[in-house]
Amino acid sequence: MKKLKLSSAEMVERAKQRIEEVETVDAIALVGDPNVVFVDLRDIRERQKLGFIPGSVHCPRGMIEFWVDPESPYFKEVFAEDKRFIFHCAAGWRSALTVATLQDMGFDAAHLKDGFADWLKADGPVEKPDAP
Protein backbone atom coordinates (compact mmCIF):
# COMPACT_ATOMS: atom_id res chain seq x y z
CA MET A 1 0.00 0.00 0.00
CA LYS A 2 1.27 3.46 -0.81
CA LYS A 3 1.92 5.98 1.96
CA LEU A 4 -0.94 8.36 2.65
CA LYS A 5 -0.51 12.10 2.20
CA LEU A 6 -1.50 12.60 5.82
CA SER A 7 -1.52 9.94 8.51
CA SER A 8 -4.20 9.68 11.18
CA ALA A 9 -1.56 10.52 13.80
CA GLU A 10 -0.65 13.68 11.89
CA MET A 11 -4.32 14.63 11.63
CA VAL A 12 -4.76 14.23 15.39
CA GLU A 13 -1.63 16.26 16.10
CA ARG A 14 -2.78 19.07 13.80
CA ALA A 15 -6.20 19.09 15.43
CA LYS A 16 -4.71 19.26 18.93
CA GLN A 17 -2.69 22.33 17.96
CA ARG A 18 -5.84 24.35 17.29
CA ILE A 19 -8.41 23.16 19.82
CA GLU A 20 -8.94 23.49 23.55
CA GLU A 21 -7.70 20.50 25.51
CA VAL A 22 -8.93 19.87 29.04
CA GLU A 23 -6.68 18.00 31.47
CA THR A 24 -8.28 15.05 33.22
CA VAL A 25 -7.96 16.50 36.73
CA ASP A 26 -9.66 19.70 35.60
CA ALA A 27 -12.45 17.78 33.88
CA ILE A 28 -13.08 15.64 36.96
CA ALA A 29 -13.63 18.84 38.93
CA LEU A 30 -16.39 19.80 36.44
CA VAL A 31 -18.54 16.69 36.97
CA GLY A 32 -21.94 17.80 38.17
CA ASP A 33 -21.48 21.39 36.98
CA PRO A 34 -24.85 22.31 35.42
CA ASN A 35 -23.07 24.47 32.84
CA VAL A 36 -20.93 21.63 31.46
CA VAL A 37 -21.97 18.82 29.14
CA PHE A 38 -19.65 15.85 28.67
CA VAL A 39 -20.18 14.19 25.29
CA ASP A 40 -19.01 10.61 24.91
CA LEU A 41 -18.06 9.68 21.34
CA ARG A 42 -17.09 6.10 22.11
CA ASP A 43 -18.89 3.13 20.65
CA ILE A 44 -21.84 1.96 22.74
CA ARG A 45 -19.94 -1.27 23.53
CA GLU A 46 -17.11 0.78 25.09
CA ARG A 47 -19.61 2.56 27.34
CA GLN A 48 -21.24 -0.70 28.34
CA LYS A 49 -17.95 -2.42 29.11
CA LEU A 50 -16.06 0.38 30.90
CA GLY A 51 -18.81 2.70 32.08
CA PHE A 52 -19.12 6.41 31.44
CA ILE A 53 -18.82 9.85 32.98
CA PRO A 54 -21.92 10.47 35.13
CA GLY A 55 -24.46 12.59 33.29
CA SER A 56 -22.60 12.38 29.98
CA VAL A 57 -24.43 12.44 26.67
CA HIS A 58 -23.64 9.62 24.26
CA CYS A 59 -23.23 10.58 20.61
CA PRO A 60 -21.85 8.13 18.07
CA ARG A 61 -18.82 9.64 16.33
CA GLY A 62 -20.44 9.26 12.92
CA MET A 63 -23.45 11.41 13.86
CA ILE A 64 -21.96 14.40 15.68
CA GLU A 65 -21.85 16.80 12.74
CA PHE A 66 -25.55 16.14 12.14
CA TRP A 67 -26.57 16.27 15.81
CA VAL A 68 -25.04 19.74 16.37
CA ASP A 69 -26.39 21.29 13.15
CA PRO A 70 -29.76 22.99 13.76
CA GLU A 71 -30.53 22.68 10.05
CA SER A 72 -30.07 18.90 10.07
CA PRO A 73 -33.04 16.56 10.45
CA TYR A 74 -30.93 14.74 13.09
CA PHE A 75 -30.34 17.83 15.28
CA LYS A 76 -30.42 17.21 19.05
CA GLU A 77 -31.64 20.01 21.33
CA VAL A 78 -28.92 19.38 23.92
CA PHE A 79 -26.44 20.99 21.52
CA ALA A 80 -28.47 24.22 21.43
CA GLU A 81 -27.96 24.77 25.14
CA ASP A 82 -25.72 27.62 26.25
CA LYS A 83 -23.22 25.38 28.01
CA ARG A 84 -19.61 24.30 27.83
CA PHE A 85 -19.23 21.08 25.82
CA ILE A 86 -16.35 18.72 26.52
CA PHE A 87 -16.05 15.79 24.13
CA HIS A 88 -14.17 12.61 24.86
CA CYS A 89 -13.32 9.20 23.48
CA ALA A 90 -11.01 6.50 24.81
CA ALA A 91 -7.61 8.10 24.18
CA GLY A 92 -8.34 11.63 22.95
CA TRP A 93 -7.82 10.94 19.25
CA ARG A 94 -11.40 10.74 18.00
CA SER A 95 -12.42 13.64 20.22
CA ALA A 96 -9.56 15.83 18.94
CA LEU A 97 -10.63 15.25 15.35
CA THR A 98 -14.27 15.78 16.28
CA VAL A 99 -13.70 19.07 18.08
CA ALA A 100 -11.55 20.38 15.21
CA THR A 101 -14.36 19.56 12.79
CA LEU A 102 -16.98 21.15 15.05
CA GLN A 103 -14.79 24.23 15.37
CA ASP A 104 -14.72 24.44 11.56
CA MET A 105 -18.54 24.32 11.64
CA GLY A 106 -18.66 27.17 14.18
CA PHE A 107 -19.58 25.03 17.20
CA ASP A 108 -17.55 25.87 20.31
CA ALA A 109 -16.26 22.83 22.22
CA ALA A 110 -13.24 21.36 23.98
CA HIS A 111 -12.01 17.81 24.42
CA LEU A 112 -10.66 15.64 27.20
CA LYS A 113 -6.96 15.63 26.35
CA ASP A 114 -6.11 12.05 27.27
CA GLY A 115 -9.53 10.47 27.01
CA PHE A 116 -11.51 8.11 29.17
CA ALA A 117 -8.53 5.79 29.71
CA ASP A 118 -6.80 8.57 31.66
CA TRP A 119 -10.08 9.37 33.43
CA LEU A 120 -10.10 5.80 34.76
CA LYS A 121 -6.43 6.01 35.81
CA ALA A 122 -7.19 9.22 37.71
CA ASP A 123 -10.11 7.54 39.51
CA GLY A 124 -12.66 9.88 37.97
CA PRO A 125 -16.27 9.04 38.81
CA VAL A 126 -17.74 6.36 36.56
CA GLU A 127 -21.31 5.28 36.13
CA LYS A 128 -22.02 1.74 34.97
CA PRO A 129 -24.99 0.92 32.74
CA ASP A 130 -27.82 -1.07 34.26
CA ALA A 131 -27.49 -4.80 33.68
CA PRO A 132 -29.85 -6.10 30.98
pLDDT tens, the chain, 132 aa long:
899 999 999 999 999 999 999 999 999 999 999 999 999 999 999 999 999 999 999 999 999 999 999 999 999 999 999 999 999 999 999 999 999 999 999 999 999 999 999 999 999 999 998 766
Rounded alpha-carbon distances, angstroms, from residue 17 to 14, 68, 72, 124? 5, 23, 29, 26
Give pLDDT, residue 34. 97
